[in-house]
Structure 1
Amino acid sequence: MYESCFNNTFTNELVFYVLLSLVFLISPFLFIWELIITLRSSFRPNENMSGKVVLITGASSGLGELMAYEYAKRGACLAIIAIQEPGSRLEQVAQIARELGSPDVLFLFADVSKIDDCRMFVDNTVKYFGQLDHLVCNAGIGPIYSIDIDVSKFEPVMDINFWGSVYPTHFAIPHLMKTHGKIIVNASSSGVLNVPKGGVYNASKAALISFYESLRHEVSPKVTIAIVTLGFINTHIITAKYSTNIAAGVRLKRDIGDVYPTMAPGACAKAIVAGVCKGETSITQPRFIKALFLVKFLFPELYRLYVNMYFSSMHDKLQKGGG
């Protein structure tokens, strides 16, 4: 019955602008609602993590390492996962986590892009601890895409960033159902904002957001899913050194943190774990990123203009080393 509205160009546009006007009219109430939700979460009791079991992938460095420490301070038992490579700090991370208060830490070397490895570390975690309460899908890589580079070199991005979260999730769900547990997935704001030169990385994170938003409906209310969308966090993954060590992608001459506003990784990890323990299902840090989400969806042309003006000049600085 509505086809006539959408088949006609004028009425199709009219419906859009009418709905947009309604959004603006009720936006003050929406902002008040967001404020109320934020304030309510501040008073919501924290989940007691003492003795609970948390599995974290990509835990040998960066946010994975720091989230392990935050969980350790809360008394959680940990299973930390990372790929085995020269100079891996996974065992050291396990020791520090014990010193910070974790009753027990299991560390396992595995490749999250391999389904058998994922089955192994989930099964071994449950066999060792007897349960699983939180699954933190954090492992990921972030090469900078360019059309000048052989596209086949970017295949590991989807294998690690997307399947490297989906595989352990698949094997963990039956155990999380028993404990009414949680899945925390590091999906990145790039999956929404589509920053230039992100290319395949953006696509992998967008796929994560879509997958876990859909999965919510299948596992709720027994399992809670927290989707984390982060801006630039000042970890090793945004350094020039990282871009030269990774197998594919554009090589940078300056750290991304030199030209873009970044958040300290310790503060970010603390905010993520605190939000998860408060029961939040959508976590964005730094918080201003949420405003960019709104601009992108409501005013796409304005957002593209902003991206072209801001990101293009900044990327030139990263590649040329300019001031």
Structure 2
Amino acid sequence: MAATAQLAGRLAGAALRVALAAALALLLPAYRVYRLTASLLGALLHEDDVAGKVVLITGASSGIGEHLAYEYARRGAYLALVARREESLREVGDAAAALGSPGVLVTPADVSSPDDCRKFVDDTIRYFGRLDHLVNNAAIWQVGKFEEVTDVNHFRKLMDINFWGHVYPTRYAIPHLKKTHGRIVGVTSNSSYIFIPRNTFYNASKAAVLNFYDTLRMELAGDVAVTEVVPGVVESEITKGKMLTKDGAMAVDQAERDVRPSRLAQHCILQP
């Protein structure tokens, strides 16, 4: 009797898992269609004329942040550019000015430091007198199976940059953005819901920051707009193999770089 009951329990559990998998297969594509449609409609309805506005971009020395700086510059925005590498940041600033930005402030800083974040927001206000867009973009990447990690504490830095590096600037910028009815743009990743093996901490950090912005949008409704940029694989230092290793060291993995697409986003969702 006990064996029969145990077998029946296992069969019931298996049937439940199959039913859940079937439901997800039906519902998840529809959910993604909804997100994409809502985001595109929202982008059309809420498109900003950014000429003459002040835009602060973190992680602006390369990759997505660099090219966002160029796009804002072409549209006539003033720029405050933030990253840790001053030389690369100044090169981006010079290029942005050449593309049409009427004024560029370069501020080397570490977004994982609350003091640095407070300072670069304050510097922006002192220099330009206002803030219209905050673009939180800075991030680092990690590759390696969770069980192979030698010490999980090595990856606190990743969460400090990928999550808290969005929270701190947002915290200090909100009072200024409320005055201009401005916008927060959070660059996250589709790794927040498409779970890639060997990216345990990276996936978790992106899911955390995506939920942060989803909640913040409700709290700031009517005062500050919130847009989430959710890219797939794009060409950047990350896809060129720059990452935290299982030992917590920053390195360039040539093999990992070679197996990743070197050009282009698989898809990008904008959620206004």
What TM-score results when the alignment is normalised by the length of structure 2?
A: 0.80
2:9 is aligned to none
1:46/1:195 CA distance change after superposition, 3 Å: same
- Residue in 1 that maps onto 2:130: 131
**Conserved 8 A contact 1:133-1:176:** yes
Amino acid at match of 1:112: V
The amino acid of 1:104's aligned partner reads G
Contact 1:144 1:250 in 2 (8 A): no
1:2-33 deviation line (CA, Å, top 9, x unaligned): xxxxxxxx9xx99xx79x87x969x98x96x7
Q: Which amino acid aligns with 1:264?
A: L
Q: Kindly report which structure 2 residues correspond to 1:50-129, keeping only aligned pairs within 5 A, or say none.
A: 50-84=51-85, 88-129=87-128
Q: Which runs of 5+ in 1 are unaligned?
A: 1-9, 283-323
In structure 2, relative to structure 1, the CA distance for the partners of 1:244 and 1:181 (3 Å cut) is closer
Relative to its length, the structure with more strand (as a share) is 2
Whose RCO is larger (CA < 8 A, sep 6+)? 2
Q: Deviations along 1:215-234, whole A, 9 cap, x unmatched?
A: 11110122111112221112
Aligned residue pair count: 254
| Deviation of the 1:248 alpha carbon | 2.5
Contact 1:138 1:186 in 2 (8 A): yes
Cα distance, 1:235 vs. partner? 1.1
1:114-148 alpha-carbon deviations (Å, 9 max, x no partner): 10110010111012111111100001111213324
Tell me the equivalent position of 2:201.
Answer: 200
Residue 46 and residue 229 in structure 1: after superposition, are their counterparts in 2 closer, same or farther (change >3 A)?
A: closer
Aligned to 1:259: 259
Q: 1:148-297, aligned counterparts within 5 Å? A: 148-240=149-241, 242-243=242-243, 248=249, 252-256=253-257, 258-261=258-261, 263-264=263-264, 281=271
Q: Which letter maps to 2:264?
A: A
Matches of 2:244 and 2:41 in 1, distance apart?
A: 45
Amino acid at match of 1:184: V
The superposition leaves residues 137-180 of structure 1 with CA deviations (integer Å, 9 ceiling, x where unpaired) of 00111121332432221110011111111000001011111111
Aligned residue identity for 1:281:
Q
CA contact (8 A) 2:38 2:271 kept: no
Three-state SS of the structure 2 residue aligned to 1:254 is: helix
CA distance in 1, matches of 2:164, 2:36: 35
Structure 1 residues 195 and 249, CA gap change in structure 2 (3 angstroms):
farther
Residue 106 of structure 1 deviates from its aligned partner by 0.4
TM-score (norm 1): 0.68
Pair 1:247–1:61, CA change in 2 (3 A): farther
Aligned partners of 1:50 and 1:76 also within 8 Å: yes
SS of structure 2 residue aligned to 1:54: strand
Distance 1:219 1:259, change over 3 A: same
Aligned to 2:50: 49
| Gap change, CA 1:263 and 1:127, over 3 Å in 2 | same
Deviation at 1:43, TM superposition (A): 5.8
Shift, 1:84, TM fit: 4.0
Asked if structure 2 preserves the Cα contact closer than 8 Å seen for 1:50 and 1:75, the reply is: yes
DSSP-derived class of the 1:216 partner: helix
Matched-pair contact (CA < 8 Å) for 1:144–1:197: yes
Cα distance between partner residues in 1 of 2:139 and 2:35: 30
- Report the Cα offset of residue 281 of structure 1: 2.6
2: CA distance, partners of 1:253 / 1:53: 38
Query: Against the structure 1 CA distance between its residues 220 and 81, is the aligned structure 2 distance closer, same or farther, given a 3 Å change threshold?
Result: same
> What value does the CA root-mean-square deviation take over the aligned residues?
3.5
Question: 1:80–1:106: 8 Å Cα contact kept in structure 2?
Answer: yes
* CA 250–194 in structure 1, closer or farther in 2 if over 3 Å, else same: farther
The structure with the largest helix share of the pair is 1
The one-letter amino acid paired with 1:128 is Y
- Contact 1:145-1:249 within 8 A present in 2 as well: no
